[in-house]
Amino acid sequence: MVDVLFKGGVLYDPAAGWAGPADILVRGKVIEAVFAPVPTSASTSTSDSAAASAGALGHVDHPVIDLGGKVILPGLVDIHVHLREPGGEEKETVASGCAAAVAGGITSVAAMPNTIPPVDDREIVTFIREQAGRADLARVYPLGAISKGQLGRELVSMEELAAAGVKGFTDDGKPVMDGGLMLKALRAASALDMPVISHCEDLSIVTVGVLHAGPVARRLGLPVILPAAEAAMVARDLLLQEEVGGKLHFAHISSEKSVALLRWARERGIVFTAEVTPHHLFLTEEAVEEFSSDAKMNPPLREAADQAALLAALQDNIIEVVATDHAPHHPSVKAKNLFGAPFGVVGLETALPLIINELVLKGNLSWQRVVEVFSLAPARVLNIPGGTLAPGALADLVIIDPDIKRTVQKADFYSKGRNTPFQGRELQGYPVLTMVDGDIKMLGGLVKGFSEDFAAAAEKMLMRGAI
C-alpha cells in the first residue's frame, strides 16, 4: 500500500455529483481529496503541474501517476457471484474468484450461499470471510440461505446469520416454492433491514426444461423453459412484498413478461429492486447454437424482444442493478451435451468490457449510469460501503482505458471457470488498474499474488509516473 495522487483522469461519480476531469489523492485506505486539475500552460511541465496540485493540498510526499485521460470509476460491486467454496473448489475458490473479480475491475462481491454445505450457519460464514481475508483481493460479503439446507422447508436463523456477517438472504440456485415460507422470510429479513433475493422459477412449470421455449430449442428438439416459469414467481413475490414492505430483490430477470410485471409493480408503489446480467442483455438464444453448453444458463437466454425489454428497463431504472451471476464449472462437466451439462456461465472478467463495448460506446448507457447500476445501487441493496469516491470514502476504484481492444480468451481467465459464451469476441474498453482499500490489486492485467510480474509492473508504474 502506498499513498498516491492520480492525475489527469476523468471521474464519474454520480453520488458525489462529479462527471469530468479530476485529480484524486489516496492516503492510506481512503480517498483524501478529489479536486479539479490545476490549469497548466504550454510551458508547464507534467512534474510542475503535479507539484502544483500536490502543493494545493499540502502533500508532496507521495507518487504522482498521470492517467492521461483514462476513466476513473468507484470500484464495481457485483451482488451475484458463485465462489463455490466450500465444497466446489474444483470449480472455483474464494481466492481464484476474487482474482477474477479484481481483474475485471470489481472490488466487492456478494457470495451466493449454494455451497456444500450451504451457508445456513455461522461457521460457514466465518470460513468464507476468513478465506477472503487470506486472499486479500476483493471484498467478499457472504449471503445466507433462506431455508435450512436450501431445502425450502424451514427458515434459517436469520438473526444468527446476520450477526455472523451475511448481508442478505437467498436460496439462489433453487426457488422458494413454498409461498408461506417466502412470506416468513420477507418478514424476518425486514425486521433486520436486510434484503431477500428471489430466484424466480416455478419448478412445476419448468419440469426438465433446458432451453428457452423458442425457435432454437424447437430446432434442437430439446425440452423448454417457458418465460411463464420466471414470471409466475415474480408475480407471487411482488404480491407478498406488497403485504410486507421489506427489502425484496429479484435476481437475474430475463424475460419481457417479468419486466412487464416489474413495471406494473412500480406503478402500484410496490418497493423492490432487480438485476439483469450481461449475458441476458447482450445474447439471445441463438448463442446456444454457436457455443453449446457454454451458453446454457438458468434462466435461459431468450429472444430479441426480451433483450430489448431488459435494456429498456435498465435505462428506465425499472431494473437498477447489473450483476454477473458468475457461475463457474469444471470444463469436463460443462463439456457435456446441452441436456447433461449444468447451467451457468462465468462473467467477472468480461462484464465491464461488455458493458463499455455494448452500452457506453454505442450510446445506450452513460458512464454515470454504469456507476449507478454496477456500483452505487448494488452497494445500497446490500447496505455495504461503495459506489462513490467522495473524500472519506474507502479507496476502492477502477481505472479504465476505453481505447484498449482485446479478444476474449477464456484460457487467460483467472477464474477456474472457462464457460463463457463470449469466447473470441473482440471488445473495446478494459480496466487497467483496480484498487481495494488503497492497495493496488490489479495492474495491466496482472493480479497481486497470482502474477509473478505484478511487483515489477507496479514498481515500473511508480517510476514512470504513468500506467
Active site residues: 325
Distance of alpha carbon 284 from its chain centroid, rounded?
Answer: 20
Q: What is the DSSP letter of 347?
A: -
Q: Per-residue DSSP letters for 382-422? A: HT-S-S---TTSB--EEEEEEEEEEE--GGG-SSS----TT
d(CA 132, CA 97) in angstroms, rounded, equals: 10
d(CA 347, CA 355) in angstroms, rounded, equals: 11
Question: Rg for the chain (alpha carbons), in Å?
Answer: 22
Q: What is the DSSP letter of 8?
A: E
Q: Which three cell numbers stand for residue 358?
A: 455494448
Q: Cis bond leading into 431, ω under 30°? A: no
Distance of alpha carbon 286 from its chain centroid, rounded?
Answer: 24
CB–CB of 423/96 below 8 Å? no
d(CA 247, CA 322) in angstroms, rounded, equals: 18
Reduced to 3 states (helix: H, G, I; strand: E, B; else coil), residue 195 is strand
Element holding 380 (H helix, E strand): helix 377-382
CB–CB of 151/178 below 8 Å? no
Element holding 262 (H helix, E strand): helix 256-268
The number of C-alpha atoms within 13 Å of 444 and in the hemisphere containing its C-beta is 14
Q: Which three cell numbers stand for residue 82?
A: 458463485
Which backbone phi and psi does 464 adopt, to 5 degrees? Answer: -75, -30
- Strands 195-198 and 169-170, sheet pairing: parallel
